[in-house]
Chain A
């Protein structure tokens, strides 16, 4: 441990996202999972489709935006859920909701893009503020901004309708399809999630993505090479905000409501937990973590009651699971998986990934 790394805290070597080699080697498992997801409406109930898979993919997209910042940019931001929340809130305020006194009843094709645009602008501004600091300061500042937004919407009744928020938000009818239909909405979520995932994979390989990873690894050297460190970091915030904004609109359509509880501090931290549990160095980790989180969230109550504990101990379960994973594997479940694979392949050879 050197003095330098003490002063510029960054992710440990094992958690850094590798730039994948060029396409053409997609593992078979990905095809199987993809096919299962596409065919899911054939054998899943509507509850599983939306409340398990759909919710997991939406949370996964928000976690993916955090993963993009943390894994490729080395910036851990807790503000991603807030950005999603802003997009959701603006969809409600500009579009149609049950709160007719506030909602402006704009058509969806105007309300949704404007909502996302505002969310991206907000995310970029937060980024511009957050990149003035580094490492752990970023976590604290973004946490504080997330909390400020939560308190603000809770106390503001004129625009954000305070504690109640907005309800009766439903996906619109367009292209001749009623997207409120569970199966249609599931495919909408699935295509957005897949697009976001592929976009992150693509951006990571573009010159911008590579430069961003260079900034993460050694900002000073990249600056010496003529790259603008600040501009790359802020641009990363914009990209991540766009993903979070899409997820935010989908989230309020899924829940049909948005309230301060949606953007509270607890859920904002849950997004970090999701990304870390899945493996913050891998884009797919965000979705794996989200699926585990959603399954736990939905079924932990029954499971806890079954073993004789009160269902309220759900948070304890999440916290302990999170602690075990952070202790055991800095790269989440995916890191654990690679570790096990390496061990079984290399046999008695020592593990390279011993913690520092």
Chain B
């Protein structure tokens, strides 16, 4: 951090000022002039929190994607379909049993098992043929999308959050001050905050698992040089299967999360595939912290953009991607060892 500051004093200053302005905008009560210029603080705070929680969801989807890519150099374009399958499975389980948490377990197991099958019967058979693998995943995503349309139809499904997570919570953030000096606080849905917390916990857990455990060490070694790793006697195919199952399972869990605070419907698979693509391109392929940063940037820009310039919100996302590509093609937080 200090090394960065001494090397790029101007950039550090800009980042520092921007962070301070952001903190001020979040915590301080806005003066009337600011409200006249940028709209009410409540709208800003809502968009800000929506962006961060959406970023949490994007991180859940994209982390599995980037993990699989990092180790196996395999772009799984069926990742969005895995997300959607997780959402449908989660809906069925929670509708049947009434246990919301159980639907996470079910989605993780079902989609993870599908991931194992994919790795065993598809990717292992065409290892190293990257383009062919990509084409096959396109085919699989078309087939899966149509099968799911067949089973679940074109309706919207929403997974109901349990009672202890539904309803709003009052946050200690002032949105406005009434004329009698009484402060108005922001209220926000609990479930979105819970999901964001879960995404943070999961992200930290994955990072710790990758950096502090033996299996994580194997995975990182595989990312760097898988031929050398298998030459040292590691059964790399098993590591592959494990990582693929875990990454697919994460997509399934993300599907349940997405089905809870948004909804599941045909077309969501492509939307989330594109979101994960953009997130990992911005953040840096194969890097978990990169996926977190990318997800935060994309989630925030999508939500703030949809509030402040609605027509071009989607284009803003892609503009960020193009700018990152033009100036830092490997992504913001890529390891540099591609």
Contact = CB atoms under 8 A, between A and B. Distances in A.
Interface stretch (B55-63, B139-147, B180-188): B139-147
A140 B131 CA distance: 12
A54 to B, nearest CB: 25
Nearest to A3: B227
B75 A132 contact: no
A39 B214 CA distance: 70
Interface stretch (A95-103, A167-175, A286-294, A312-320): A312-320
Contacts of A356: 128-129
Interface in B129-162: 129-132, 134-136, 138-140, 142-143, 145-147, 149-150
A316 B311 contact: no
Interface in A296-353: 312-313, 315-316, 318-320, 322-323, 326-327, 330
A321 B338 CA distance: 34
B311 A330 contact: no
A141 to B, nearest CB: 6
A24 B174 CA distance: 81
A5 interface: yes
> Main SS of chain B's interface residues?
helix
Interface string A116-142: 000000000000010011011101110
B312 interface: yes
B126 interface: yes
Contacts of A318: 142
Interface in B289-325: 311-312, 314-315, 317-318, 321-322, 325
Contacts of A315: 142, 145-146, 149
A215 B201 CA distance: 46
Contact of B315 (A76, A133, A151, A326): A151
A227 B334 CA distance: 29
A269 B277 contact: no
A316 B146 contact: yes
B130 A145 contact: no
Interface residues of B, number: 43
Nearest to A152: B315
Contact of A152 (B132, B225, B314): B314
Interface size, A (range): 35 or more
Nearest to A325: B139
A136 B143 contact: no
Contact of A12 (B73, B132, B145, B329): B132
B319 to A, nearest CB: 8
B75 A139 contact: yes
6 contacts: A132-B325, A141-B321, A148-B318, A315-B145, A316-B146, A320-B139
Interface of A: 1-3, 5-7, 9-12, 15, 76, 129, 132-133, 135-137, 139-141, 143-145, 147-148, 151-152, 155-156, 265-266, 269, 272-273, 276, 312-313, 315-316, 318-320, 322-323, 326-327, 330, 355-356
* In the A-B complex, the 9 residue pairs with the closest CB atoms: A319-B142, A148-B318, A9-B130, A1-B128, A323-B139, A319-B143, A151-B314, A316-B146, A315-B146
